[in-house]
Chains A and B, each alone.
Chain A
């Protein structure tokens, strides 16, 4: 079926990525922006892991993996460990900043916060 050939990791990750972009563009809630960035990062992780994904490939573990014809690629996996840690740290930082911002401004809406910011000047 032509539809099933489209359902792979790459297509789903692109769709997820654009859902994240939509969340950032259309939603005014700061918390939802943070969640959207999280969705974008998850999409990127899925995309990297589905580069040349092959159900028949063996995992790259063991002394004699060079003998197999198809071995999963270790590089994106290692890169994504790094990207996951970076994602966690930026999410933690932005959530803490959001808590602080909410204390100062009493709102979690970008527009209201921006208006109050302008009133301070």
Chain B
């Protein structure tokens, strides 16, 4: 019963969401995309402009993305290590 209520509520919300979301037009000149398509190859020399966006134009994001990976590895190692007797419950 509870699941049915949640499902119907979320269904109504989703329908309204879609109704509004379809009003959103894509912006006509894609400002950033057009610039990268025109200039990326000459500025970076990478044939794939996704590469040049990922590693050159938005390198600051990529740096923190790597840090996310690093910290999750630190967290996984920190959670998995059991030492001492107090953890052997």
Q: Does B84 contact A (CB under 8 A)?
A: no
Query: In the complex, which residues of chain A have a beta carbon less than 8 angstroms from the beta carbon of B7?
Result: 22, 26
A93 touches B58 (CB 8 A): no
Interchain CB contact under 8 A, B10 and A61: no
Q: Number of A residues whose C-beta is below 8 Å from B?
A: 38
B interface size (C-beta, 8 A): 43
Binding site secondary structure of chain B: helix
**A19-36 contact mask (Cβ, 8 Å, vs B): 1 or 0:** 001100110000000000
Chain A 77-110, CB within 8 Å of chain B: the 1/0 string? 1110110011011101100110110001000000
- Pair B10/A25 contact, Cβ less than 8 Å: yes
| Cβ of B76 under 8 Å from chain A | yes
A81 near B14: Cβ-Cβ < 8 Å: no
Instruction: Find chain B residues with CB under 8 A from A99 CB.
Output: 79
Q: Which 9 A-B pairs have the closest CB atoms?
A: A89-B72, A78-B53, A73-B33, A78-B54, A18-B14, A60-B49, A74-B49, A93-B72, A82-B65
